[in-house]
Structure 1
Amino acid sequence: MKPSGPLFTLLAGLLLGIFMLSLNATTGTNAKTSYEGTTAPPTTPAATPAPSTAPPASPSPTATLPADSDYAGRTADDTATVAVSVHDGKAIGYFCDGRTQESWLKGDIKDDGSMALTGANGSRLDGVLSAGKITGTVGIADRTWQFTAARAVKPSGLYRATAEVRGAKIDGGWIVLQDGRQVGIVTRDGKPAAAPRIDPASGAATVDGTRLTARPVVP
């Protein structure tokens, strides 16, 4: 007996389905094998720079000038006085024995407090400002004195007056020490002599009957 048409068609479809399933399984396996066999190259992490071991740069030191002030004191042998006025990096010094010998000196003061002031006829003051006082030497003519000048608070300090009295040129210098003592010289047309006292509060002084005003010295 011959198989019917529908049965034959059913068998043919079943065989085709089995064939397609087998083909898909084979293709999928190959595709999976091909995908798994491809390995992406490993990613190398970016190198992290090593931390610097060098110490941070220190800021440049700021230069500091000594504070503005006056300094006054005696020589080591107690025969003369020395005063120095400091202002804005400049200094004026005055050496005076209160009788016949005096010298005005000037120059710069360095950041470390050292100074080398010069005056007429080769006079020189070398000193260092430290711990609120100036220590050093003064050389006048062929002599040298050691000195110490402590900080002077007004009215102590350095004063000067210049004027013309009865046709004579007057130049006076005064050092007022911390204990109130005064040492000074007034020069009349180049002739030195002991100076009269001044009133530290006003700077008033009388020279040859004429009233003068001595003012604080500022470089």
Structure 2
Amino acid sequence: MKRPGPLLTLLAGLLLGLFMLTLNATSGTKTASSTYREKSPSVSTSPSSTPKSKSKPTPTLSPTPSKTTVANANYAGRTDDDAASVAVSVRDGKAVAYFCDGRYKEAWLRGPVNDDGSMKLTAPNGAVLDGRIEQGKKIHGTVKDEGRKYAFTADKAVKPSGLWRATAKVRGAKIDGGWIVLPNGRQTGIVTRDGKATAAPRIDPETGAVTVDGQQLTAQPVTP
């Protein structure tokens, strides 16, 4: 019987080589797959998955209470004893008043008006007016002049009633005239000529025209 020849030896070697090749191929695939998984980036947390911080609600501010504003208006009336007239003009928290008996006694007074409508007005001659606006319709108060106190009520006045004044130079004399026109049309006024007071002539309350010592002047509504 003949021994296996070289052909069988060669075939055996080929089978062994094929087996080793198959083994290497299988090992290489596993190694590559393992390496890929190791190098794969770790899954990062999505921003949307981050817990959102709760925003604090903005506190609602309560509105600041607005100050009571005293309305602009004019007031005119008589003292309780009917001895004199009083007129007050209020504008933007200030007031000017005129106290006049129509013969020789008069006083121009000025001062602030408080938010509640109260006022204390003073004059260069020392006269003082204390009053209060009531519901925007009238002023109750007192005028103290030359040691005497006069209580008065002045109702809201609409032009042509109210407070008027005219200043001018007539025949070399300095003229200063003041008029109070009441809502019923009654007038009280004084014209001072170089410091001497006398009863004032009537004015036209529609135009303010007035004739003093033969010269026509134009009185203007008085405001603070």
TM bucket (normalised to shorter chain) is 0.7 to 0.9
Q: Distance in 1 between matches of 2:148 and 2:183?
A: 26
CA contact (8 A) 1:138 1:146 kept: yes
State the 1:132 CA deviation: 2.8
In the alignment, structure 1 residue 86 sits paired with structure 2 residue 93: no
In the alignment, structure 1 residue 126 sits paired with structure 2 residue 134: no
In the alignment, structure 1 residue 114 sits paired with structure 2 residue 118: yes
Query: Where has structure 1 moved over 6 Å in runs of 4 or more?
Result: none
Question: Where in structure 2 are the equivalents of 1:1-219 lying within 5 Å?
Answer: 57=62, 59-61=64-66, 63-135=67-139, 136-219=141-224
Q: CA RMSD in A?
A: 3.9
State the 1:134 CA deviation: 4.0
Q: Distance in 1 between matches of 2:86 and 2:99?
A: 5
Q: Distance in 1 between matches of 2:223 and 2:216?
A: 22
CA contact (8 A) 2:126 2:145 kept: yes
State the 1:112 CA deviation: 0.8
State the 1:74 CA deviation: 0.4
Q: Distance in 2 between matches of 1:126 and 1:209?
A: 38
Q: Residue type matched to 2:175 in 1?
A: I
1:28-82 alpha-carbon deviations (Å, 9 max, x no partner)? xxxxxxxxxxxxxxxxxxxxxxxxxxxx846433x13211111000001111000
Q: Distance in 2 between matches of 1:102 and 1:201?
A: 24
Q: Residue type matched to 2:93 in 1?
A: G
CA contact (8 A) 2:102 2:188 kept: yes
1:70-120 alpha-carbon deviations (Å, 9 max, x no partner)? 100000111100000011111000000001100000011111101110002
Q: Distance in 1 between matches of 2:203 and 2:154?
A: 21
Larger Rg: 2
**Aligned residue pairs: how many?**
217
Show structure 1 runs of 5+ residues with no match: 1-55
CA contact (8 A) 2:107 2:125 kept: no
CA contact (8 A) 1:186 1:193 kept: yes
Matched residue, 1:25:
none
Q: Distance in 1 between matches of 2:179 and 2:86?
A: 10
CA contact (8 A) 1:127 1:134 kept: no
Q: Secondary structure at the match of 1:122?
A: coil
Identity %: 64
Q: Residue type matched to 1:71 in 2?
A: Y
1:154-179 alpha-carbon deviations (Å, 9 max, x no partner)? 10000000001011000000000000
Q: Distance in 2 between matches of 1:130 and 1:185?
A: 29
